[in-house]
Structure 1
Amino acid sequence: MSLAPTVSSRGSVRATFVAAYSAVTLAQITNALPGALNGTFAVEFRTSGAGLTWIAGMFMMGIVVFELSWGLLGDLFGRKKLLYAGALVSVAGSVLAALAVNTEMMIAAQAVGGIGAGILFPISLSMIAAITPDHRERAKVIATWAGFLSLGAVISPVLAGLTSQAFTVEGTAAGAPNIFSGWRVAYYIAAAIAVAVLVIAIKAKDSAAAEGRKLDMPGQITLALGLIAILFATVQAVDAGFGSAEVITSYVAGALLLAAFIVIEKRTRQPLIHLSLFKNRAYSITGIVAVTGMFAFLAVCFSTSVAVGGLALAEAWKVGVLFVFIQGPAFAFIPVVGWLIHHVAPRWVLTAGFAFMAVSAFWLSNIPLGTPEAFGGAPWTAFIPPLLLLGIGFALTVGSITAVAINTVPPQHIGMASATTNLLRDLGFALGPVIGSAIAFGVGASAFAGSLAGILGGAGLPAEAVAGLSHVPPLGYLSGWDGVVAQFSGQAAAGGAPAQAVDGMVNAVASVQQQIQGVAGTSLGQGFQTVYFVAGIAAVLSAVLTLFINSRPSAPTPDAVAETTEANAEAVTA
């Protein structure tokens, strides 16, 4: 456990609590907003599979790659300063997202917003822990902090759905999107909350714990760049394929950087991660489960957002309602899970939670996807029961992972074990949409290719025209039909085809538009059904692995109890 922090005599205790609780609610609202809007982004931005994946995964990347350092910087330079920084960055990220008119702008906004949330999560928790020296009282305020975090997860999809429904207006005369309407209002509201956090924080108490703390810059840089390279390679593989030069190069660079990180951590006196933790078999298993289990959870969330919002064309408020069923149990079951962790062996809670998630994923894999409800597709309400099971499973697992991890190590390693487990858990979250996209769009493209060639050939298009249209992935035909046809006609004309022949080919393609889009939707639906199935396997694997964890709780000293409570609350930052 770290040395006792120094707390400023200036400022208000009440303002500190209000600022911290508001900050963590804000961070989770901005964290969860893209999940409810992925389908909307796919349609409005006409994005590719890789682009959609970057939107979904970039926010989590901003959290994962720096999360071990933000808390340390707060200890060194003062947590109030870091809270200001996090709120300011969140304002910038939210405003950029609201102003985004294309995929690239939204990806940049997500990167900024992820950094802001990555600062607010640990800093808000450490601020209230510092002003609550009594262990019993600290447990209560940390539980309240976790409750506000969960509240943000519930507010976010509702906010996305309501603003999309209530503030939607037509675009400008030139056809550009209206940047003051629809889902964009949700981001303006998030920016307003961030400004309120800044104002409240002015009267908050500052605290720090600089003694004995030092930033491991070589370790932070190699870890951040290594993770970014690996995630970049996986995202680019969605469109470029795993055999492309840039993907292979990025994987090699990522592996070398992570190997350098391991060497650095073994030699430095104050590492970001104590690698000796992984010599403990039980802790190593918990680390694996943290990645595979949370990958399963977010892969299901991402697939649901795209399948319901992007393929089935359901309104954003319906997607928001579905995400309430996913996120709601984590808020509603806080007292239940807290009781279970303290009265039942946490590994059994963990196993049960992953079992719920597995049932949910396998159930969803059997729901037909890719056809709008208006054309006979599955109704959006069919997703509610399995997603409720997913939410219950998530509520049981997200805190229990850290509880099991810290019960497998000596008391003096509890803090590091908690931080490392949180990093692995958040890595699993980041991998969910990244690997899920690679699977969904890869399977979808394979299923679509043969059908598209048959449709175009049947419409009388020559072989070279079929080849020119076959390179477009199925999502392109769903979200950017006019652009695909315009690009094809331009290429045909540039290739020397007579204008009359080009017009004939365009008309032939237009005559089978509905057929092509129908096959594109069902092909991608098969891809996302595969993602659900893979997520189910990952959840089963996680449930089975937890059965082999023989956790031996540490001696319940006051410090260990306080660290355990704080670690459980930190785990909810999912």
Structure 2
Amino acid sequence: MSGRIPGGPAVIPDVVEKTPSRLSAGTLIAGCVAVFLAQTGLVLPAAVNGVIQQTLHLSGSQLTWVSDAFLVPIAMFSLTFGVFGDRYGRKKMLVIGSLLMLAGYLVSAAGGPVQQLWTGQALCGIGAAALFPSSLAIIIASTPRPADRAKGLAAWTTALSGGALVAPPLAGGAVEFGSFYWAFGAVAVLAAASALLTVLLTTDSSAPEGRSLDWPGQITIAGALLALLFGVIEGPGRGWGSTVVVTAFVLAAALLAAFIVVENRTERPMLRLDLFRIPAFAGAAVVAVVGMFGFLGGAYALSIRLGVIAHQTPLQAAVPFLVIQGVTPFVWPLLVRLLRRVGPRIMLVAGLLAIAAGWVWLDALPVASSTLLAMLPALLLLGFGFGLLVSAITAAAVNVVPIELAGMASGTTSVVRDLGQTLGPALIGSIALSQSASMLAPELATLPLPDAAQHAVDAVFAAGGPLAVATAPLGQASTVVGPIARQALEHGYGIGFQVSAAACVFAAIVAAVFIRKGQTVETR
């Protein structure tokens, strides 16, 4: 089979998809449980950011790395695991990914310093990098009929939302009755169950022809993403003009250029760059990065607002996220119909604008009056928008490539989506904390405190920034500096909401312009 890409090379080399003719119930269940596990792990730290920060006394950068130690490996290795799945079987990748997450969560649940938590999170992120593209590819490869594929994509999206739905109450309950470490132990049990279900239920699929390990491509893209994300995360703490941060950005640019050269010259690339000549595919990639940045960035700002600024318990802070993620399962039948009848373009535009409206709504609510009832309309908008966004991004990318390139397309979709998810907390956290620090610094310089207390406050601010000042035990000084620090944080994370909303509006414009209903790849 060969395919013609509009605006690209005339012929795609022959590729044979080794897959069953229809999607089995077992494969669907195992694929959905796998993405449920991966998304649960992705959301889990955000649900207990406040408790982690207070328990381990972390700076803003250290707290950001708790989430990003999970997210960075996903962005780095999703393409790699997409290749492995195509060559050696997606079932194997689901088992390996689940076992890696099991090992990572056992490390995280064991307690210890923040470095151990980072290590466990990184292992889990590598596992999730296998689960996201492989779970999607194994479902897509088994659904050549559009009607079946719409159902499979909607089920996958619902499972993904279900993972995000479960994570907040799981984390909150663990803190309420024990420690946040217990939540990591609970997800370890889920990882073991995912591996077992995959072994017992999944019908394997692969597409090895035309795919190679392409080590130069894998090394250059992984290095480029690691350098880029390291620079973004460390920029606020070390300074954007520091030697380390500038070197990271230069290295990222050089490695990205090397990756493009390698992929254009190799006979069997891990990523066919000519796919980006398809307007819908390229548009979906941009929308995935910017749109998921907007959604996850705003979600990170909301988690800090609830857990750190408003001092809500983990269970209280979990409820708004339950509302957001609880919408998708209820609209699953609607997602199926929309995918079949209106296509991804309208879904993306509507979903992104709904998310933008939700963040603007929440930004307009002062922290003191942000009750669940007051937030409910915004939370429902966010949940509906997220369901549309995730299902439509996937459909926009994979529906315009031949079925035999489903693994590559789904891997690419995972990379760009997860890059946006990683950049969201990193950049929004950086923007919010820098704005908070700019507002807080002159206030701290004029406090009516005794010299000893002033020196203590200044030391905490220098070491940990506004988050540390808002939560550190500073004795009598806390009654003075606490409200000021929380006001500065409210200002900073309010700007984070605004930036997240603007990103979603931009992504909606890209979707409206570049993603058209009916754009497909002709096969012959």
Deviations along 1:368-408, one digit per CA (max 9) or x if unpaired, are 34xxxxxx564455433322211111112222223334566
- Superposition deviation, residue 414 in structure 1: 6.7
Deviations 1:103-142 (A, max 9, x none): 3222222111111122123333445566778776565455
Report the structure number with the largest CA radius of gyration: 1
User: What's 1:242 paired with?
Assistant: 240
Given candidates 376, 391, 397, the residue that maps to 2:383 is 391
Contact 2:141 2:404 (C-alpha < 8 Å) held by counterparts: no
- Trace 1:454-469 onto structure 2 (pairs within 5 A): 454-455=446-447, 459=450
CA spacing shift, 1:269–1:330, aligned 2, 3 Å = farther
User: Using a 3 Å threshold, how does the CA distance of structure 1 residues 114 and 448 change in structure 2: closer, same or farther?
Assistant: same
C-alpha displacement of 1:555: 5.6
Secondary structure of the residue aligned to 2:160 is helix
1:455 is paired with a residue whose SS is: coil
Matches of 1:148 and 1:464 in 2, distance apart?
51
Following TM superposition, by how much is the alpha carbon of 1:531 offset from its aligned partner in structure 2, in angstroms?
A: 0.4
What does 1:40-119 align with in structure 2 at a 5 Å threshold?
40-119=51-130
Measured against aligned partners, the alpha-carbon deviations of 1:248-296 in whole angstroms (never above 9, x if no partner) come to: 1111111111111111111112222222333445544433222211111
CA 143–437 in structure 1, closer or farther in 2 if over 3 Å, else same = closer
> Structure 1 CA distance, aligned partners of 2:413 and 2:479?
48
Which residue is equivalent to 2:16? 3
**Distance of 1:111 and 1:358 partners within structure 2:** 30
Distance 2:415 2:58 in 1: 29
Mapped contact 1:16–1:203 kept (Cα < 8 A): no
- The residue that corresponds to 1:190 in the other structure is 187
Could you tell me how far apart the structure 2 residues matched to 1:284 and 1:331 are?
29
Question: 2:219 aligned with 1:260, yes or no?
Answer: no
How far apart are 1:5 and its partner, in Å? 1.4
Task: Give the unaligned 5+ runs of structure 1.
Answer: 8-12, 168-180, 370-375, 483-509, 561-574
- Is 1:478 aligned to residue 470 of structure 2? yes
Taking structure 1 as reference, are residues 549 and 326 closer, same or farther at Cα in structure 2, changes over 3 Å only? same
> Residues 144 and 403 of structure 2 are in contact (CA less than 8 Å); yes or no, is this contact kept in structure 1?
no
1:419 CA drift (Å): 3.8
1:359 equivalenced with 2:357 (yes/no):
yes
1:182 corresponds to which letter in structure 2?
S
Kindly indicate whether the alpha-carbon contact (under 8 Å) linking 1:453 and 1:470 is maintained by their aligned counterparts in 2. Answer: no
In the alignment of these two chains, the number of paired residues is 506
Amino acid at match of 1:360: G
CA distance in 2, matches of 1:123, 1:28: 14
The alpha carbon displacement at 1:527 in A equals: 0.7
**What residue in structure 1 maps to residue 304 of structure 2?**
306
What is the CA–CA distance in structure 2 between the aligned matches of 1:466 and 1:113, rounded to whole Å?
Answer: 36
AA of the residue aligned to 2:193: A
Alpha-carbon separation, structure 1, partners of 2:153 and 2:501:
32
CA change 1:534–1:197 in 2 (3 A) is closer
CA contact (8 A) 2:231 2:249 kept: yes
Contact residue 459 and residue 512 of structure 1 kept, 8 A: no
1:147 equivalent in alignment to 2:148: no
Whole-angstrom distance in 2 between the partners of 1:347 and 1:141: 19
Checking the alignment, whether the CA contact within 8 Å between 2:293 and 2:422 is kept in structure 1 is yes
Q: In the TM superposition, what is the alpha-carbon distance from 1:427 to its structure 2 partner?
A: 1.1
Query: 2:523 matched to 1:543?
Result: no
The answer as to 2:434 corresponding to 1:438 is: no
After superposition, residues 150-549 of structure 1 pair within 5 angstroms as 150-165=161-176, 167=177, 181-204=178-201, 205-281=203-279, 283-369=281-367, 378-379=370-371, 381-405=373-397, 416-455=408-447, 459=450, 471-472=462-463, 473-481=465-473, 510-549=475-514
CA gap 1:270/1:355 in 2 versus in 1, 3 angstroms: same
Are residues 366 and 33 of structure 1, via their aligned partners in 2, closer, same or farther at CA, if it must alter by over 3 Å? Answer: same
Question: Is this contact kept in 2: 1:45–1:101, CA < 8 A?
Answer: no
**Residues 308/248 of structure 1: CA separation in 2 closer, same or farther (3 Å cut):** same
TM-score by structure 2 length? 0.87
In the other structure, the counterpart of 1:487 is none
For residues 299-326 of structure 1, the C-alpha deviation after alignment (integer angstroms, 9 at most, x for no partner) is: 1110111110122110111121111122
Give the letter for the 1:244 counterpart: S
Query: Counterpart amino acid of 1:5?
Result: K
Taking a change above 3 Å as real, the CA distance of residues 366 and 75 of structure 1, as seen in their structure-2 partners, is: same
Residues 24 and 120, structure 1, Cα contact 8 Å, conserved in 2: yes
Tell whether the 8 Å contact from 1:478 to 1:517 is kept in structure 2 after alignment.
Answer: yes
- Is contact 1:407-1:553 (8 Å) kept? no
Aligned residue identity for 1:111: A
SS at match of 2:200: coil
Alignment RMSD:
3.0
Distance 1:134 1:414, change over 3 A: closer
**Letter paired with 1:357:** I
| 1:509-547 C-alpha deviation (Å, 9 max, x unpaired) | x54331112111111111100100111111222222333
Secondary structure of residue in 1 paired with 2:443: helix
In 2, are the aligned partners of 1:39 and 1:307 still within 8 Å (CA)?
A: no
Structure 2 vs 1, CA of residues 108 and 523 (structure 1 numbering), >3 Å: closer, same or farther?
A: same
Q: How many Å apart are 1:29 and its aligned residue? A: 1.8
State the AA in 2 paired with 1:448. L
Q: How far apart are the structure 2 equivalents of 1:297 and 1:117?
A: 19
| Structure 1 Cα separation of the partners of residues 459 and 146 of structure 2 | 67
Q: Residues 471-505 of structure 1, C-alpha deviation per residue, up to 9 Å, x if partnerless?
A: 241212233336xxxxxxxxxxxxxxxxxxxxxxx
What is the CA-CA distance between 1:26 and the residue it aligns to?
2.0
CA contact (8 A) 2:93 2:134 kept: yes
Distance across 1 between alignment mates of 2:361 and 2:213: 46
Deviation at 1:441, TM superposition (A): 0.7
CA distance in 1, matches of 2:121, 2:43: 11
Counterpart amino acid of 2:495? T
- For 1:146 and 1:463, the matched residues in 2 are separated by 51
Question: Counterpart of 1:242 in 2: which secondary structure?
Answer: coil
* Farther off after superposition, 264-273 or 410-419: 410-419
Deviates more, 1:187-196 or 1:124-133: 124-133
Secondary structure, counterpart of 2:420 in structure 1: helix
